[in-house]
Structure formats: C-alpha cells, structure tokens
Chains A and B, each alone.
Chain A
Amino acid sequence: MTMIFTDDDKAFSAEVRTYLSDNLPAELARKVRYNQRLTRDDYTSWQDVLAARNWHAVGWPASAGGPGLTQTQRYLFEREYGALSCPHPCQFGIAMAGPVIFTFGNDEQKARFLPGIRENKDFWCQGYSEPGAGSDLAALKTTAVREGDHYRVNGQKIWTTWANWADWMFCLVKTDLEVKPQRGISFLLIDMRSPGITVRPIKTIDGDEEFNEVFFNDVLVPVENRIGEEGQGWTYAKFLLEFERFSMSGAARSRRVLSEIRADAEALGKADDARVAERLTRLEIELLALEHMELHLLARSVGGENPGPEASKLKIRGTEIAQALSRLRVDLHAEDCLVHSEAFLDASEPSDNPSAMGAIATYLNQRKLTIWGGSNEVQRMILAKQILELG
C-alpha cells in the first residue's frame, strides 16, 4: 500500500512550514544547526511559540485539549519540524506525562496537570532509571510507603534528563515489595520542589549537563498525585513505550543533517572525493529505505491496522542512521574538529568553522540515541518476541 497525501494534507504541511519558519529565531536555529548547547530558556521560549498555536502538545487528541491531528497530519508535522533547525522538543511532558495523565488519570488530575503541560508552563522530567534498573525496570528499588494521605518516598533515580530544570517528575516507585516486581510498581507525579529532593547534575562525555542524579530522602507525595491504580505503574510505563513510536524515526531530522553534511563537503571541496561521495550516498539510500518503511507503516495505520510494536524498527534504524551521520561529520572535518572550545559550545563565542567545532560533541552526544527510549536491544527483544514470535 502506498501512502498518498491529499491536497488538504499538503496544505497542512505548508501551514506548519510557514508558521515554524516564520517564528523560529535565527539565533536559535543557528545554535541547533551547529549543535551548541541550549539553555532552559532556549527550549521554553521556543515551546511557547509552539504552544501559542497549540502545537506544543501536538500529538494530543482534542479531548485532552490538543489539536487532535490525524495520523497523517501528525506525520507531516514531524516531517516539517525535522526539516528545520528547531530544537528537539522536551518530550517528557508532552509525549509521556501528558498521555499517561489523559489516558489513566482522573478528572481532577487532568484539570490540574494537563493545561500546564500543554501551555508549556511546567517543565517535566522522567524518573524511571535507577543505578540498578536501566532497561530492566522491574528491578526498581525506590520505595513509596503509604502513610495516610501521603506516600513517603525514599531512593534514587539516575540519568534523569533535565531534572535540574524540572518543576515536576513522573516517577515509577515500588509500593509493594511482596508481589511479583511488575505488580508492585506505581506511577507518581512528584513536585520537584518537595523537601527531601536533591538533584545533582552529571557531566556527560560531550561536556553537557543534561543528566542528573535525583535523591529522595523521606519525600512526602500526596496520594492524589498517584495516577491510576496502586500497583499498575508497569502497565502505564508499557503504554508509553508504544505511544508515539512514529516520531522516533527522526528521519526528517536526519534528512536535514545529511544535506548539511553534503553542503559542508562541497564547501570543503570534498564532494567529489570518492570515499566521501560513497558514504554520503550510502547513508542517503539507507535513509530513503527508513523513510519508506515509515510511509508504509503510516499507510497501514491510516488503513485501520494497528502496527503496534512493529514501529520499533523505525527507532532502531532511525537512531543507527543518525549516529552514522554524526560520525560522518567528524570524518569529513577530520583534524578541523580538534579545537575544543567550551565558549563555542555554550554559544558565548562565535567561530568561523562552526560545523567542525560542534562535530565531536554531537558525535558523542548522539550515542545516547540507541540507549534511551528503550535501548535498541530492548526494541530488538520486543520485535523478536512479538513480531517474530521467538520464545
């Protein structure tokens, strides 16, 4: 089945393209283009632009106050978004906390939390990983013990992206130590200003400080901040693994990066170098295959099929290709990448060779792609079990 876009679809694409390009500040686009570090304000001011059009919570249904886009529009939005140098959206509120709340939360919780996420008022982080529980979430150790109207939370989260900026965390905690691990986990929303929370940033290999450790020392969380049933947190976490898999290919962004690298190669006079040309073409064809896998999956989805876990293939290939591109950029600029400048990476100082200056930090930063969002090994396990039916 081939995906065919209607005139309405094309008009929607044009509308998105116009709005985004008209409102994307040049300075911000430049930072994104050259992979310089973004500040909290960079993200939130851009997300305000999106929220003004109700495109911040772009994947939400109208019933949750979102724009209620069709699957096709959702796909086209991603395509237009990735084609421009827009900041990668901070997904924890809009793509994770929000969908769990509007799917499993009660009316009071929806009224209390959804507007803040949708309108970009609250900054969210995700409290899943722990020192002993990465891909294996069933091994969680952070506990929440019920005391009247509160849970008393003790333990530690780690690799918590943007915990240092966050107002809220959605968090998996153990509420029952007796039952099977998957049955004893609950889903709590925790105010990051609660007494007893300590956030300690962790510097990453690219020199950035996105990651954090978060310590909970007798933190009291109101019972009304628990989403759904006690002990059902595992179900909600699994629901999230399947939510918005479509946006995980990153194909549009990779398409943009590929053309940037091609432009770099031309500027360096290396476009006709056979090795460079071969690697560029190779990646371009791999990317084309990814784009068409995605289009066929979309066509099936629009046709009423639920491809379910099949979309894991998009995450696997999309992240592999993005990583290969980041490596190609390093190889292309070669020794020009050797000048390390914190001032450039923080965008406090310009450079006359910005593409090379950011290449190593990007290459290192992009290693995260195959680890987070369900590592690529977890995605392969899901496909092996659920699609290939291997025991």
Chain B
Amino acid sequence: MSTNLDDELHMLTETVARYVANRSDGKANSEDGWKELAELGWLYLPYPEEVGGLRLGTAGVSAVMQGHGRGLLATPYLPFAVMAGGVLARCPRASQTLAAVMEGTQRVAAAFVVGAAPTQVAQAADDGWRLAGACDHVLAVDEADAVLALARIGASDETGLFVVRTDAPGVTVEPHLLPDGRRAGRVGFDDVAVAAADRLDDDGGVETLLREVETEALLAAAADNLGAMQVLYEQTLDYAKLRRQFGRPIGSFQSLQFRLVDMWIKLDEVRSLVSSAAGAEDRQEAGALAIAAWIQSVWSGRLIGEEAIQIHGAIAMTDEHAVGRYVKRILVNELVFGAPERHFSRYRSMR
C-alpha cells in the first residue's frame, strides 16, 4: 500500500471519528443521514475506479463501518452500499443505477441473505420476467427506492439478479423493528413484472459474483462489530477504574483484571484480522481473512458483550445504559450475517 493511500485512509478514519462523535441527534435513519454520507463521498468508497468509485476499497469501507458500529449508526451503508452496490458494481448493465447509488439519489436494498439460496422465482414472460416469492429481514427496506433481488430462473438451478422498484405493482414491504432498534422488513413479490433490462446478469457467473460481494459484506459486518466492541471494552475498562466497592475500585480486583485483559486480547484479535483482511493484496488470502475476521468478531463480540454487562453490573441491565445497545447491535449482526459455524465450510474453501 502506498504512503499516499495510507494518508488518505488516515484522513478518512479521522473524518469518520469526527462524524460519529458529532451525531447523537437520532437522524441516522432519516433521509438526512443518507445525504450526509453521500456528501462525505462515502458512497463511492466500496467500488473500483473503473466504475467511478474511489480507490480506498475494503480498507475505506472498513473505516466507515467501524464508525457505524462505534456510533451505532442505523444508516444502511452495509446493505445498500456494500451489498446491493457491490452487486451493481459488478454488472456492466447496471452502470446507471450504480451512478445514482453513488450520488445518493437512488437507494437500493439488498433482498438476499448471505450464504442462502434465493427464495424468489423468476419466470420468463413476453416483455421480460415475472417475479414471485418473498425475502425476509431485508435491512432498511422501508427506506429503499428499489431492491436488488435474487431469483431462481424457472425450474433451473440458475440464479438471476434483478432490480425492482419498491413501488412497482405487486411489490409489498412489511417493515419490522430489529431488537437493536434498526429496521428491516419482508419484501414480497406477487407476480411482479420486471423488464428484461432490469435483469442485471448475463447468464452464469452469478455465484462467483455473489461470493465476492458476500465476502465484502462479512468483512464490513466484522468492522461494524469491531467498532461496537471497541466501545464496550473502553467503557467497561473506564467503569472498572471508577466504580468503587469494598473501599476500592473494582478494577483493582484480580478476577476482574484478568477478565478485562481477556477482553482486550479478544478485541485485538478482531482488530488484527479486520486490518489484515482490508490490507491483503492477494485476493484469495484477503477472502479467507475476511471470513475469519467475521467469525472471530462474533466470538469476540459475544465474550466482550457478556463481560461488559457482568462487569458493569445492574446498571448495564437498564434500557437507558449504552452497553445494552452495543450488545444488541452485535447480536443482531450475528443473526443477520450468520453464526460462525455457518461460515466454516466457506472459510475452508477459501484458505
């Protein structure tokens, strides 16, 4: 990595930190929040220069995502920019949609689940396709202008990629809250007419494309977890130094010291893997590191979250206290992107 890129990355990291520090105004989920990301240029980060993106790539995405975790931002950067955008950026036919996504004028949700086969079916019709089926837990789908959907083509094993506007006839969106306060929803397709031009893939190659996008999504999710557990660790360490019981700070008790040290190590393991995955030059190695980073972020996140609550004691059981919000963030991430064991075979195939 050249020094120039290192400098740019450093600047980005500082901008992210400032942005996160300044926004406790609750507009993370609003139109304004997305506009701000667009104005900051972050919607260009995940894509290569050839398609109009910025060259900071996964390292840049990772910095933005750590900020999302740290600040518990609900802006759907991961599903919209990394996942849906990641698919668009790999489909030459989608260049106009991608341009609108990068500008922030069009918001596309990702109606597919990492590691799962599509549940929608597309049948060929005279003027294009008819789409049927539904996808659950699509992140921030109620904010989206369109969805990027996967569908099985007829009775074949083939998978096709489709962009469908959420206001198209036959599309239904049923939003629900996630346990951490973010939003998701079920998007249903009831015999929805899709123009031939809105199928993005040429025949074949979709599997490889999806694996690449999913790998980037898992690394981004690991970075989100990293940002969140960093805060949990820092807050717990500070609390252990301040909180006094039995006439001394609880952090002076060795049983808690050892547990805090283990939290610090678990945090460092994630940080090391996320950083290596984002910096790796070799594609294969970067992929394996990204999956490992995600898996380790879940293991570390569970331990750090549970220990943060235990060491804080009853105060962390309150709805008002921040610890619970971070714990829920990491838990929801895990359930959305898949528990470690679900990714073991993917890891083995990539190393």
Contact = CB atoms under 8 A, between A and B. Distances in A.
Contact of A293 (B249, B251, B272, B280): B272
A391 B252 contact: yes
A57 to B, nearest CB: 30
Interface string B249-285: 1011010011011101100111111011001100000
Interface in A281-320: 281-282, 284-286, 288-290, 292-293, 295-296, 313, 316-317
A313 B268 contact: yes
A277 B341 CA distance: 10
B289 interface: yes
A339 interface: no
Contact of B295 (A1, A4, A285, A387): A285
Given A281-B347, A292-B272, A292-B273, A388 B257 contact: yes
B296 interface: yes
A2 B2 CA distance: 11
A296 B276 contact: yes
A384 interface: yes
Interface residues of A, number: 30
B303 to A, nearest CB: 13
B265 A317 contact: yes
B292 A288 contact: yes
Interface in A310-345: 313, 316-317
Contacts of B273: 288-289, 292
A229 interface: no
B292 A390 contact: no
Contacts of A387: 264
A74 interface: no
B236 to A, nearest CB: 11
A288 B288 CA distance: 10
Interface in B79-116: none
Contacts of A1: 275
B279 A2 contact: yes
Contacts of B321: none
A377 B249 CA distance: 20
Contact of B292 (A277, A285, A316): A285
A377 B275 contact: no
Contacts of A377: 258
A2 B281 CA distance: 10
A384 B257 contact: yes
A264 to B, nearest CB: 17
Interface string B232-253: 0000010011000000010110
A26 interface: no
Contacts of A42: none
Contacts of A285: 292, 295-296, 347
A390 B257 contact: yes
Nearest to A317: B265
Contacts of B344: 277-278, 281-282
B254 to A, nearest CB: 7
Nearest to B269: A289
Contact of B257 (A284, A316, A317, A380): A380
A391 B257 CA distance: 9
A28 interface: no
A383 B348 CA distance: 34
Interface string A347-385: 000000000000000000000000000000100110110
A383 B252 contact: no
A2 B269 contact: no
Given A278-B344, A391-B249, A384 B260 contact: yes
Contacts of B279: 2
B1 interface: yes
Contacts of B249: 391
A140 B69 CA distance: 50
B296 A2 contact: no
State the 4 A-B residue pairs at the shortest beta-carbon distance, nearest first: A2-B279, A384-B257, A289-B269, A292-B272
14 contacts: A2-B1, A4-B1, A281-B347, A288-B289, A289-B272, A289-B292, A292-B272, A292-B273, A380-B261, A381-B254, A383-B261, A390-B251, A390-B252, A391-B252
